[in-house]
């Protein structure tokens, strides 16, 4: 019931993404530069909420646009109704619904759906990860210098010491391809699928990483903070890799090693 509700809610949100995509919709700006929210974000969130509340009205919800709907429950739904809103607003089909379900403080179910590419990523704790119901696995690359990486740049403190630009430069100056797609949830899923070997980001929120984090781990990858410590969706810095280049990535990120 929990799994089927997650799938239904994710698809309901995605249907709203497709309904509004490349159409006319209202766009407003939240705090900060280019921190957009659209009419479609709210419509997707509403559709997701309706499915959850119909099936599990007593569950806690944390969603990007609404914030917390506090309930006395062991279950928390962590929702990004559109991850990659700037892409969405510009007609770029790299955006998705991202939902992770936390039980007693641990992410146990995850779904990320990019309806433009019809790619539905799913994971259940201890049962592996899938893309459109087929098992996925991280890559086998063992050297960071040969890796294909992906990152994102936050809208705040981009010039911080050892920040996004400095770390980006350490890799690209050595010829390492580093992409920037504009959706952290998709970035994480593409690490899980073996398309990227690693992903690093300085400022993610729980709704950005909750689902993708479990999908990477269930695909055989590793997710930590930038120091290599145990990851929590409630802290900002994320490093996700195939596991084989993880320690090397930690060393480069912390300027302890040159490629």
Structural domains for the chain? 2-135 (3.30.540.10), 144-253 (3.40.190.80)
Collect all residues with Cβ–Cβ distance below 8 Å to 53 and sequence separation of at least 6. Answer: none
Provide the b/e sequence for 19-29 (b: ≥16 CB within 10 Å): ebbeeebeeee
Task: Give the position of tokens 């903070």.
Answer: 225
How crowded is the C-beta side of 129, counted as CA atoms within 13 Å? Answer: 28
Q: Spell out the SS3 assignment of 144-204.
A: HHHCCEEECCCCCCCCCCCCHHHHHHHHHCCCCCEECCCCHHHHHHHHHCCCCCEEEECCC
How crowded is the C-beta side of 208, counted as CA atoms within 13 Å? Answer: 20
pLDDT of residue 105: 95
Contact by Cβ (8 Å): 253, 151? no
pLDDT of residue 226: 97
Sign of CA dihedral 84, 91, 81, 101: negative
pLDDT of residue 214: 98
CA distance 24 to 192: 34
pLDDT of residue 160: 76
pLDDT of residue 33: 55
pLDDT of residue 28: 64
Q: Spell out the SS3 assignment of 82-139.
A: EECHHHHHCCCCCCEEEEEEEECCEEEEEEEEECCCCEEEEEECCCCEEECCEECCCC
pLDDT of residue 123: 98
pLDDT of residue 154: 81
Question: Quick one: 7 exposed, middle or buried, by C-beta within 10 A (0-12, 13-18, 19+)?
Answer: middle
Q: What is the pLDDT along the chain (259 residues), one digit of tens a residue?
A: 999 999 999 999 999 999 999 877 776 666 655 566 789 999 999 999 999 999 999 999 999 888 899 999 999 999 999 999 999 999 999 999 999 999 999 999 999 999 999 999 999 999 999 999 999 999 999 999 999 999 998 876 667 778 899 999 999 999 999 999 999 999 999 999 999 999 999 999 999 999 999 999 999 999 999 999 999 999 999 999 999 999 999 999 999 999 9
pLDDT of residue 42: 94
Contact by Cβ (8 Å): 136, 195? no
Question: Quick one: 14 exposed, middle or buried, by C-beta within 10 A (0-12, 13-18, 19+)?
Answer: buried
């Amino acid at each position: 019931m929990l799994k089927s509700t997650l799938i239904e809610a994710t698809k309901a949100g995605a249907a709203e993404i497709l309904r509004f995509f490349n159409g006319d919709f209202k766009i407003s700006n939240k705090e900060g530069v280019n921190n957009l929210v659209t009419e479609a974000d709210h419509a997707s969130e509403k559709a997701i909420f309706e499915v959850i509340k119909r099936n599990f009205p007593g569950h806690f919800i944390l969603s990007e646009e609404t914030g917390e709907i506090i309930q006395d429950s062991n279950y928390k739904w962590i929702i990004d109704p559109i991850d990659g809103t700037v892409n969405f607003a510009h007609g770029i089909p790299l955006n998705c619904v991202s939902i992770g379900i936390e039980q007693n403080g641990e992410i146990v179910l995850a779904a990320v759906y990019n309806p433009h590419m019809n790619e539905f990523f799913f994971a259940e704790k201890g049962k592996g990860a899938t893309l459109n119901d087929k098992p996925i696995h991280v890559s086998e690359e063992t050297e960071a210098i040969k890796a294909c990486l992906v990152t994102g740049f936050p809208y705040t403190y981009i010039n911080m010491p050892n920040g996004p630009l400095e770390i980006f430069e350490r890799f690209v100056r050595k010829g390492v391809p580093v992409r920037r797609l504009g959706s952290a949830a998709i970035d994480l899923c593409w690490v899980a699928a073996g398309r990227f070997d690693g992903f690093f980001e300085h400022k993610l929120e729980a709704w950005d990483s909750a689902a993708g984090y479990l999908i990477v781990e269930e695909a055989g990858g590793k997710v930590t903070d930038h120091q290599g410590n145990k990851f929590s969706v409630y802290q900002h810095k994320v490093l996700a890799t195939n596991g084989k280049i993880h320690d090397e990535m930690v060393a480069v990120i912390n300027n302890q090693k040159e490629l």
